[in-house]
Chains A and B, each alone.
Chain A
Amino acid sequence: QLQLQESGPGLVKPSETLSLTCTVSGGSISSSSYYWGWIRQPPGKGLEWIGSIYYSGSTYYNPSLKSRVTISVDTSKNQFSLKLSSVTAADTAVYYCALGIASSSYYYGMDVWGQGTTVTVSS
């Protein structure tokens, strides 16, 4: 069974770039049915989709974050990554990575989630 684990700094300074990696264990992430996403949750608030990357390499981002976000995948390492530039205190949140099953003709949601990692933006 696939398991996901986020890793990266828990504290990032304002204006710097937040970088997180999601490592997948228990199997290969290299399947044409898979897609990989990042979601965040500010303290006491709801879930916010950050963006997703599909097996084809196509990426899709939340329009409100698009200018600052880059998501990439390295199937040889069973990892995918998130970079969020020019962070402010508003980017303080629990960041989750997730894996789902979807294509152009079906969408089965995000079935496997990491435990989440807390990132605080502060000087």
Chain B
Amino acid sequence: EIVLTQSPATLSLSPGERATLSCRASQSVSSYLAWYQQKPGQAPRLLIYDASNRATGIPARFSGSGSGTDFTLTISSLEPEDFAVYYCQQRSNWRETFGQGTKVEIK
């Protein structure tokens, strides 16, 4: 089973700042990696798929990069609605796993 490790666990930033979230896989997942945003009491929302493609309706301030084992989600300038928990997810050999999440909180 592939393990996804996200860092940091918590990111304390102010609106307007840049957020950089990391997701590292225990072995290569090629580009089969997605990022989700989850707010309290809500279902997750797909942000990025195939490591770097924005899902429909996702603002351009969200971007993804990486391949193989190291991936990054960048939020170029945090808006108030971006404070939430972010998860990465991979599929390898048809099995999927999620990272443990990174909480982006208001500083």
Contact = CB atoms under 8 A, between A and B. Distances in A.
A48 B54 CA distance: 23
A115 B42 CA distance: 7
Interface residues of B, number: 27
B95 A46 contact: no
Contacts of B44: 39, 47, 96, 110, 113
Interface in A93-111: 96, 102, 106-111
Contact of A113 (B45, B87, B95, B99): B45
Given A107-B32, A109-B89, A110-B34, A60 B95 contact: yes
Given A60-B95, A63-B1, A63-B95, A109 B101 contact: no
Contacts of A63: 1, 95
Contacts of B53: 108
A62 B43 contact: no
Contacts of A106: 50
B49 A113 contact: no
Contacts of A107: 32, 34, 49-50, 91
Nearest to B30: A107
Given A109-B55, A111-B46, 11 more contacts: A46-B87, A46-B98, A46-B100, A47-B89, A47-B101, A52-B96, A58-B94, A60-B96, A107-B50, A111-B56, A115-B42
8 contacts: A37-B96, A47-B36, A48-B98, A60-B96, A63-B1, A108-B49, A109-B49, A111-B49
